[in-house]
Structure 1
Amino acid sequence: MKNYIYSKLGLAFAVCAFMFSTNTQAQIKANQTIANASINSSTAFLDAASSVTWNGSSTLGKGMLFPRTDLTQLVLTNNGGFLAGNNPNRFDGIIVYNTATGNTPATGSGIGNQPVAPGFYYFSNPGSPTAVTTGQWIAVGASPKVTIGTNEVATNTLINVSTGVDKQVYAIKGSFTTTGTSTSVTIPSPTGMTSLYGITIYKVNGTGNKVVYSRDLYSYNIGATNNAITGSPSMSVVYPADTYDYVLEYIK
């Protein structure tokens, strides 16, 4: 009798194991029949594209809900230790959907004090296997979809400076008014700005053609009054009297 019981238990275990493995394969390739669930030969480890088999239509599909978090509060921690073998660079590549507008914490969140807005972000920390201090949250693609306003936003541009450490490029929108008699104008320097990356000067309102007027300045002096000279790098130019809008891109 005992042998019979053990045999039934073994059979039940085998059936459960088969069902578990079949379900696991289905999760790997969820848009196919169970028989075609394995995608060992595919570059993709997960294929959940729409399929008539599961949805009854090739146009009906499912979306993936990413983890939602508040990057103005999130501090990266490793309670219980960090398994470097699983992720050689600490937290490098983590993707989240940020729900808040503001700045990341000064410490515990990479370089800290980064402006963020609702949208997808990933943590870039390719150069440090032991710390998060050099990492930074970077918007994924065109996300977050924010309008440049009076406050700065982090762009999707990183530049590699002479030290080999990537620098975030920020942007801010503003306007200046010219008298038509001087090349000097005031374009305020944002807090923490260390270098000008680029500028686009255009007109939304005012007289004349409402088009991009210039992507150049003759010179720019951080922190001074009348700190910008209009024109190109080779020649200063007196702008006609009017109000001009600009987007200033810079690094800190």
Structure 2
Amino acid sequence: MKGRVLIIAGSDSGGGAGIQADIKAVTALGGYAATAITALTAQDTQGVRAVHPVPLDFLRLQIRMSLDDIGADCIKTGMLADAATIDTVCDALAGSGVRLVADPVMVAKGGAPLLAPEAVETLKRRLMPLATILTPNLPEAEVLSGMAIPDTDAMVHAAELLMTLGVPAVLLKGGHGEGPVLRDVLATEDGVEVFESPRIETRHTHGTGCTLASAIATGLAQGMGLRDAVLRARAYVAAAIRAAPGYGRGHGPLDHGVTLDPARIAALA
């Protein structure tokens, strides 16, 4: 086990996204996952029924105790819900010097809002300048950049625009796009690179954004360079989608354990 990742995000009772997906992804890639839960959700593959925020003092305590004792080699943020939560997280992380993968979660796969509209400016003003990399999907990037993103050229422009807000790297994910080829854009201070892969036609994509961001955070925590961490994370998510177990009546979960070999463990027993 190598690489400590502190995940600050919401809980998904269905297990496919949020904290649950984050822990599975970090573990599957050989890292150690610690958590600070921002909110509890009651949800399944068809949608979010209810959200119960965690008191801010308790959230702050979770972060402090994790960092003071076990420590972290990388931090990943997901669902932060509102401006007060963003402020609390940023205050708690200020001066930590730990790299941060910020996944700007705004809407659940089923369409439920997970970030208050008035919190967007706080996210841009406070969280993005602390991040090592921002990992928005297309709808999130359109909100943050204030522009439509209909094609790859627009993705490149939007990623570069987001970097002007203080974040040194952006991975703009193309999963919400159309066509047989999925394109993700990685923009850094060294330039822009477009990654292409075949689009996997499936409804079992719940938690892909959470999983990808946590996989990147694990790579960074393990000492990988940013590009290599992104490439491994993309490969892991694609494999987990292809191996999805088919659970649920809606957007089903991935197989986060695609890297594991239970038969090998049984042989050692």
- Shorter chain as denominator, the TM-score bin is under 0.3
- Which structure has the larger Rg over C-alpha atoms? 1
Q: Which has the higher contact order (CA 8 A, sep 6+)?
A: 2
The structure whose residues are more often strand, as a share, is 1
